[in-house]
Structure 1
């Protein structure tokens, strides 16, 4: 019996939520449908993908390995069905600046699609912080940038947001706060806090914390998202980070859960930027058109 996309989607939803009930709620189907699909999938691959307990569904080592393949399959299907770019044989060169978070968690898959769509488009990519990117765009060192548009402050730049990634509280599995539907900043302030510093994350966090009378109990500041992931999963602290960088498992195989804060937390917005008076080249037009199609934005004028 071949593996179906339905089984893979149900498997991924269950892996990410750790609960059949939550996966069913997200997909809008019955819990029994997910349970049946996962059992069928386990029979096909010949191994158990989850261990079942009263607390939920914990992935086995084989399940974690299968999850990486499942993500790749779903990405390929999305690429094949949702993005129909017109053929274009032009040759051009494009210099693109991007920040650390964007290069690590947003751009790689899109760069592959761009190169397959326009094999003669030579994209030169540079990793920089926001300030260096803004200066470089204004000085014509870079044609365009992909960065956190929510951080851009220079009025001489035009930005176009592609996606807004919700920020949630990361906690280890079976954390006491998981029993609540939402948590307040007051409750979060009582926990040891791992503060991410890369891409102005600490500055952004202090902006919304400053609107309350509470402050995070920071026990460590780090520029590594993976360090935050491992420390939170190990129970050494909590963190508020965006869904774009969320992976439900640490490198050590420990699970991370998320909770929605009760106070409004600004999203992390990702998009494009260019000099306000820039004259678009064919390469710049192709780059922008790709992302607008990929994120279902209306045609630009």
Structure 2
């Protein structure tokens, strides 16, 4: 067993399909298939059930996934460049929205704390409007936000990554076997509308460019509620890959489909007041993220 075996296994487990894992890792599907077969042979257990919808973890696979996350985290820690820089001191006030704080920031905060133990990052979770106002009035130094939602001309932004939006459906849904799934087909399904971080506004914005409207069954601010309702066959939704997980809290499978018509991605990045002189702590924070997302990253647990 080597690092690649574990990395390919985790990618396949999280994305649910060899093809998606191969695309994410920029390698061939055969390389992933071979690695999984070798890993199963060494583990002496079947880790995946191959189905028409993709790759489903077996009980042994779920147990191994927990260990795989620990292995990757240990490797990432061992390969982190440099040592802790105790000379960097100060306090940095950083605002973040709900989605960013829950699904993007935690791993980076851990790395920053290990790298700069004397840099204190004060976090605030707020709505986009309150974050923008806080940056303009200097209540916050920087923010990590959905830059695709920022529209204040007094702010500068750096987009770090774009997370593709896909249609979420329960395992076995008829749309999984359709040749093409567009807004017409989606509009015929009960739709679960996420409302947190202006998700509903964003959703309606791209739906309004079409001849169709979603048949909204429920509006909720809970991503876990959306996940469970979709997994239990009560509706579908369109959300980004950043918040996607293949399993609901009840252990039911969620599949994804790339719509045949364009859906804008969700962009995540930094924001700060335009024209402000960046303090050393602000420059360090910005440089960390620029370095992280301009350098090809190994596939690590989200």
Q: 1:295 maps to which residue?
A: 293
Q: How far did residue 65 of structure 1 move?
A: 3.5
CA-to-aligned-CA distance 1:53-99 (integer Å, 9 cap, x gap): 56543212332233244244335545654766894612110000000
SS of the equivalent of 2:294 reads coil
Q: How far did residue 14 of structure 1 move?
A: 2.9
Q: 1:279 maps to which residue?
A: 277
TM-score by length of 1: 0.89
State the alpha-carbon separation in 2 of the partners of residues 82 and 239 from structure 1. 37
Structure 1 residues 270 and 25 mapped into 2: Cα distance closer, same or farther (>3 Å)? closer
Is the Cα contact below 8 Å between 1:182 and 1:259 reproduced in 2?
A: no
Matched, 1:233 2:231: yes
Is the Cα contact below 8 Å between 1:248 and 1:255 reproduced in 2?
A: yes
Structure 1 residues 241 and 42 mapped into 2: Cα distance closer, same or farther (>3 Å)? same
Is the Cα contact below 8 Å between 1:181 and 1:260 reproduced in 2?
A: no
Gaps of 5+ in 2: 296-302
Is the Cα contact below 8 Å between 2:88 and 2:118 reproduced in 1?
A: yes
Q: How far did residue 212 of structure 1 move?
A: 0.8
Is the Cα contact below 8 Å between 1:82 and 1:294 reproduced in 2?
A: no
Is the Cα contact below 8 Å between 1:98 and 1:146 reproduced in 2?
A: yes
SS of the equivalent of 1:261 reads coil
Q: 2:144 maps to which residue?
A: 146
Q: 1:164 maps to which residue?
A: 162
TM-score by length of 2: 0.88
Q: 2:254 maps to which residue?
A: 256
Structure 1 residues 166 and 72 mapped into 2: Cα distance closer, same or farther (>3 Å)? farther
Is the Cα contact below 8 Å between 1:83 and 1:294 reproduced in 2?
A: no
CA-to-aligned-CA distance 1:233-287 (integer Å, 9 cap, x gap): 1111111000111111112111111111122111111011111132211111110
Structure 1 residues 54 and 232 mapped into 2: Cα distance closer, same or farther (>3 Å)? closer
CA RMSD of aligned residues (A): 2.4
Q: 1:29 maps to which residue?
A: 28
Q: 1:6 maps to which residue?
A: 4
Q: 2:175 maps to which residue?
A: 177
Gaps of 5+ in 1: none
State the alpha-carbon separation in 1 of the partners of residues 20 and 147 from structure 2. 31
CA-to-aligned-CA distance 1:22-75 (integer Å, 9 cap, x gap): 6556653354x5444334323444543223456543212332233244244335
Q: How many residues align?
A: 294
